[in-house]
Amino acid sequence: MTLREPEPDDAPAILAIAYSWGLPWGWKWPEGRYGLVAASGRVVAFVLFAETIYGLVVEELWPERSREGERGLALLSHRIEAIAQGLANQRGEPLAVGGIVRRDRERHRAALEKRGYSEAAAVMEKVFKPQRVC
């Protein structure tokens, strides 16, 4: 399995993975954003992340729903942490890594806690439903 930057031909596989996890049908890879894919003959997982004032923020990290997808997810997770550690070493200062974990994703949260992550913030949400305009 290899980790690499996504290529244009990867778009259908990335979208299939994203949609299988319930990302909105209008979702697409944001132009100019950095990310990686895990591939084993085909894309089996992807990550999209950016550096912000808060550190490295993982915006999307999703595997194909298969054993290969889980392997790809693990490899991507390790690569993100290696990138963060490298940047912290290079800069001589701490660098945080994080992202949103929905409360209904208990297994996701437990896996991150097992890797040493802890809750650092709360994300507030308000859902706006379409209204009929007469």
Per-residue pLDDT averaged across 63-84, rounded?
95
Q: Where are the domains of the chain?
A: 2-114
pLDDT of residue 49: 92
We find that the CATH architecture of domain 2-114 is 3-Layer(aba) Sandwich (3.40)
Per-residue pLDDT averaged across 4-8, rounded?
94
pLDDT of residue 46: 97
Quickly list DSSP for the chain. -EEE---GGGHHHHHHHHHHTT--TT--PPTT-EEEEEESSSEEEEEEEEEETTEEEEEEEEE-SSHHHHHHHHHHHHHHHHHHHHHHHHHTS---EEE---TT-HHHHHHHHHTT------------------
pLDDT in tens, 95-132: 999 988 888 888 888 988 998 999 888 888 888 888 88
pLDDT band at 44 (very low <50, low <70, confident <90, very high): very high
